């Protein structure tokens, strides 16, 4: 079974999602660790960001996955050799190209406005050209299931032509997401009769059955499945790999990833939603926060007697955990469990754990979230310990933002200048520093470092590598709660911290201060 991910291409079509090149590279790394066979990086002909991705992806060290480039067949009545898009695919520096072409007669005539034979030539020429350039070619048969309904002979003819031209996989696409599982199974069976080439499935979720359609295709003989992490995609999304992978492995007995890789699924799902700057969807099967949650009551009583009484699989298999909502006791157990996982000792009995549970609850209600901010969680554990001495303490800070014209003649060319004043206590000393920055957060960061570097010169190694802001209650306008997630690195380790407030600068400050405090705890002998 081949797993083909298109989060970076089709997934990024979801409204509101825009991955940076760095995000795309990091996601590629994660997908490789997850055991994905092919990772579609994007369409270099469609935007410069995708072109840059392929340039930088050459430096990635992947243990298993191959990066694929995406494009379409040549335009009607042109030569493949001189088609700019095809040439770009050949030049992308990867060995797999996926090209989309039409396989529905109506689409050819009404949308492409060309002849049915010309479309067949477009498919054949494009595949030949890419094969001549040494590429493995996958053919995405666009609108295959609709085409199969309106003119089955022609839809199958498109597949046969691509197969003859030498594609390694024929990917049957439910582009509009309108098919149902039984139709999909029948069409896949028909395709398997006309070709021996590997059949793939690419399903959209407009009828709410993208995962079901994919599994139906597999049941009918497809052995290459395409999807996206969290089902991200245009309109109602694509088939969700986070459902498909465990369904294939745990329910259908198809060993598409190792046990260890399956165990990273939940983490990968959260990672991609974080990179997309979207709240994780709690109700996603297998990987959502609620997938294995139980409210107190007779379910919990049943679970205590027999863990599988109210769950379809063991959550640990996909890297999740059983989650008992509401119950105070389980909250404490979870926190002790999480602290141990992070290598921090927390006695089961006594005040410490109880205080920590209370604090986590209060902070979570104020918008903090620790799933993706393990360094801030560690700090909470430390701070709950009696006698904890922080490496520094904030006394106060002030930020001034000014917009000024560079010169009287440069009208309209204003620049933002920010200046931050920070007072922190280190030991018994109060440090008072001022720094400028290109924005308020940058200025705060500079001022705080200036204050701390005098006592902790090694802190210079710490860099802020990512900064994300999320508005938590979009409807309430400027009063809304803001969550800031910061990722820092010292070149060896990276760690994430969180801050939350109604004020973006305060939220940033909290995340920033946590980041430096976390590093100092580990490295400054405190
Ligand atoms: Zn698609």
Distance 224 CA to ligand 1 centre (A): 15
Residue 352: the pLDDT is 80
Q: How many CB atoms lie within 10 A of CB 483?
A: 22
Label residue 240 by pLDDT band (50, 70, 90). very high
pLDDT at residue 327, rounded to an integer: 42
Run of H or E residues at 241: helix 241-246
DSSP single-letter state for residue 310 = G
The reported pLDDT for the residue numbered 56 is 95
Q: Which of 83-97, 132-146, 268-282, 349-363 is least confident? A: 349-363
Residue recorded with tokens 């940076």 = 20
Token duo for residue 110: 């009404």
What's the rounded Cα separation, in Å, for the pair 253 and 295? 31
Give the pLDDT band of residue 413 (cuts 50, 70, 90). low
Is residue 317 over pLDDT 60? yes
Q: How many Cβ atoms from other residues are within 10 Å of residue 110's Cβ? A: 9
Over 60: is that where the pLDDT of 139 sits? Answer: yes
Please tell me the least confidently modeled range out of 60-64, 142-146, 432-436, 471-475. 471-475
Are residues 468 and 457 in contact, defined by beta-carbon separation less than 8 angstroms?
Answer: no
Instruction: In whole angstroms, give the CA distance from residue 6 to residue 14.
Output: 12
Q: Which token pair is 70?
A: 């995406």
**The pair of three-digit structure tokens given for residue 334, joined into one six-digit string:** 């979870």
CA 381 from chain center: how many Å?
28
Tokens of 116: 């049915």
Q: What is the mean pLDDT of residues 247-272?
A: 96
From the list 177, 268, 283, the residue with the least C-alpha distance to 229 is 268
Can you list the alpha helix ranges (DSSP code H) found in 151-205? Answer: 152-165, 181-194
For residue 363, what are its two tokens?
């902070």
Position 411 scores a pLDDT of 61
The rounded percent of the chain whose pLDDT value lies above 90 is 68
Comparing C-alpha atoms, which of 361, 345, 349, 295 is closest to residue 322? 295
pLDDT-wise least confident of 63-67, 127-131, 348-352? 348-352
Average pLDDT, the chain: 90
Give backbone dihedrals phi and psi of 147, rounded to 5 degrees, phi first: -60, -40
Residue 465 pLDDT = 87
Helix (H) or strand (E) holding 106: helix 105-106
Q: Rounded CA gap, 2 and 222, in Å? A: 10
Does the model's pTM come out above 0.85? Answer: no
Span 370-389, average pLDDT: 86
pLDDT top residue among 306 and 473: 306
CB atoms within 10 A of CB 53: 25
CA distances from 487 to 265, 383, 504 (A): 21, 21, 16
The count of residues in the chain is 526
Average confidence (pLDDT) over 165-180 = 98
Query: Which has the minimum average pLDDT: 298-312, 326-340, 421-435?
Result: 326-340
CA of 195 to the centre of ligand 1 (A): 23
| Phi, psi (rounded to 5 degrees) for 17 | -100, 130
The alpha carbon of 413 and the centre of ligand 1 are apart by a number of angstroms equal to: 42
Q: Could you report the per-residue pLDDT of 217-234, keeping only the tens digit for each?
A: 999 999 999 999 999 999
The answer, yes or no, to whether residue 295 has pLDDT greater than 80, is no
CB count in 10 Å sphere of residue 407: 8
Question: What is the bridge-based pairing of β-strands 463-471 and 198-203?
Answer: unpaired
Tell me, what's the pLDDT at 473? 65
Ligand 1: centre distance to CA 52 (Å): 22
How close is the Cα of 214 to the center of ligand 1, in Å? Answer: 13
Distance, CA 289 to ligand 1 centroid (Å)? 27
E strands, 187-320, are 198-203, 224-227, 293-295
pLDDT score at 326 = 45
Q: Which of 246-255, 324-333, 377-386, 469-478 has the lowest mean pLDDT?
A: 324-333
Q: For residues 138 and 130, give the distance between their C-alpha atoms in angstroms, rounded to a whole number.
A: 10
Cβ atoms of 260 and 34 within 8 Å: the answer is no
* Residue spans of alpha helices (H) in 349-464: 351-365, 374-384, 440-453
Determine how many CB atoms are found less than 10 A away from the CB of residue 17.
18
**What's the gap in Å between 138 CA and the centre of ligand 1?**
14
Q: How far is the CA of 264 from the centre of ligand 1 (A)?
A: 25
Cα–ligand 1 centroid distance for 207 (angstroms): 14
Q: Residue 479, Cβ neighbours under 10 Å: how many? A: 8
What's the 36 CA to ligand 1 centre distance in angstroms? 18
The rounded distance, in Å, linking the Cα atoms of 26 and 28 is 5
Query: Rounded to an integer, what distance in angstroms lies between the CA atom of residue 433 and that of residue 448?
Result: 7
Confidence bin at 417 (pLDDT 50/70/90): confident
Q: What angle do CA 323, 272, 207 make, to 5 degrees?
A: 85
Beta-carbon contacts of 68 under 8 Å, excluding residues fewer than 6 positions away, are: 4, 38, 39, 40, 41, 94, 96, 97, 98, 138
Query: Parallel, antiparallel, or unpaired for β 482-489 and 463-471?
Result: antiparallel
Which residue's entry shows tokens 């700019």? 84
Cα–ligand 1 centroid distance for 402 (angstroms):
46
Q: Read off the pLDDT band of 328 (50, 70, 90).
A: very low
The alpha carbon of 507 and the centre of ligand 1 are apart by a number of angstroms equal to 38
Asked whether the predicted pLDDT for residue 201 surpasses 60, the reply is yes
Nearest one of 264, 207, 277 to 236, comparing CA atoms: 207
Q: Look at residue 270 in the predicted model and tell me its pLDDT.
A: 92
Distance 320 CA to ligand 1 centre (A): 28
- β-sheet with 414-426: strand ranges across: 393-405, 414-426, 429-437
Q: Contact at 8 Å (CB) between 321 and 291?
A: no
For the cut 80, the answer to whether the pLDDT of residue 300 exceeds it is no
- Cα–Cα distance between 68 and 71 in angstroms, integer? 10
Is pLDDT above 90 for 194? Answer: yes
Average pLDDT over residues 179-184: 98
Beta strands in 18-121 (DSSP E): 38-42, 66-72, 96-102
């Amino acid at each position: 079974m081949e797993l083909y991910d298109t989060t970076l291409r089709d997934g990024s079509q979801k409204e509101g999602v825009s991955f940076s090149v760095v995000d795309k590279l990091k996601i590629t790394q994660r997908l490789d660790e997850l055991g994905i066979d092919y990772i579609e990086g994007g369409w270099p002909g469609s935007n410069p960001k995708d072109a840059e991705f392929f340039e930088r992806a050459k430096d990635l060290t992947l243990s298993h996955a191959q990066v694929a480039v995406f494009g379409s067949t040549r335009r009607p009545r042109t030569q493949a050799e001189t088609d700019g898009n095809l040439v770009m695919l050949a030049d992308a520096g990867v060995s797999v190209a996926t090209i989309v072409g039409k396989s529905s007669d109506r689409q050819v005539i009404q949308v492409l406005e060309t002849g049915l034979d010309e479309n067949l030539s477009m498919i054949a020429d494009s595949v030949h050209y890419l094969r001549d350039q040494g590429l493995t070619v996958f053919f995405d048969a666009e609108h295959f299931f609709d085409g199969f309904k309106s003119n089955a002979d022609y839809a199958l003819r498109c597949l046969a032509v691509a197969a003859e031209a030498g594609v390694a996989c024929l990917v049957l696409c439910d582009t509009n997401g309108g098919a149902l599982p039984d139709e999909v199974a029948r069409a896949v069976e028909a395709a398997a009769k006309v070709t021996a080439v590997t059949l793939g499935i690419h399903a959209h979720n407009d009828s709410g059955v993208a995962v079901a359609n994919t599994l139906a295709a597999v049941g009918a003989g497809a052995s290459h499945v395409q999807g996206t992490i969290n089902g991200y995609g245009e309109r109602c999304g694509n088939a969700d790999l986070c459902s498909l992978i465990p369904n294939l492995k745990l329910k259908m007995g198809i060993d598409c990833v190792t046990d260890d890789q399956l165990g990273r699924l939940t983490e990968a799902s959260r990672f991609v939603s974080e990179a997309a700057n979207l709240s994780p969807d709690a109700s996603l099967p297998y990987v959502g926060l609620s997938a294995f949650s139980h409210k107190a009551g007779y379910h919990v009583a049943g679970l205590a007697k027999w863990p599988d009484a109210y769950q379809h699989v063991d959550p640990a298999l996909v890297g999740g955990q059983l989650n008992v909502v509401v119950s105070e006791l389980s909250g404490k157990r979870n926190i002790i469990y999480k602290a141990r996982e992070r290598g921090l000792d927390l006695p089961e009995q006594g005040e410490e754990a109880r205080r920590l549970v209370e604090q986590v609850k209060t902070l979570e209600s104020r918008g903090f979230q620790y799933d993706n901010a393990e360094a801030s969680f560690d700090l909470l554990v430390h701070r709950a310990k009696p006698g904890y001495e922080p490496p520094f303490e904030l006394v106060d800070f002030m930020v001034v933002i000014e917009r000024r014209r560079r010169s009287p003649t440069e009208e309209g060319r204003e620049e933002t200048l920010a200046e931050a004043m920070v007072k922190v206590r280190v030991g018994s000393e109060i440090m008072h520093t001022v720094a400028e920055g290109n924005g308020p957060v940058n200025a705060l960061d500079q001022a705080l470092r200036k204050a701390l570097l005098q006592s902790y010169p090694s802190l210079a190694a710490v860099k802020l590598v990512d900064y994300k802001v999320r508005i938590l209650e979009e409807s309430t306008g400027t009063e809304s709660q803001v969550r800031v997630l910061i990722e820092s690195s010292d070149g060896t380790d990276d760690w994430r911290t969180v801050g939350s407030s109604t004020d973006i600068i305060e939220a940033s400050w909290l995340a920033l201060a946590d980041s430096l405090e976390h590093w100092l705890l580990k490295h400054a002998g405190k």
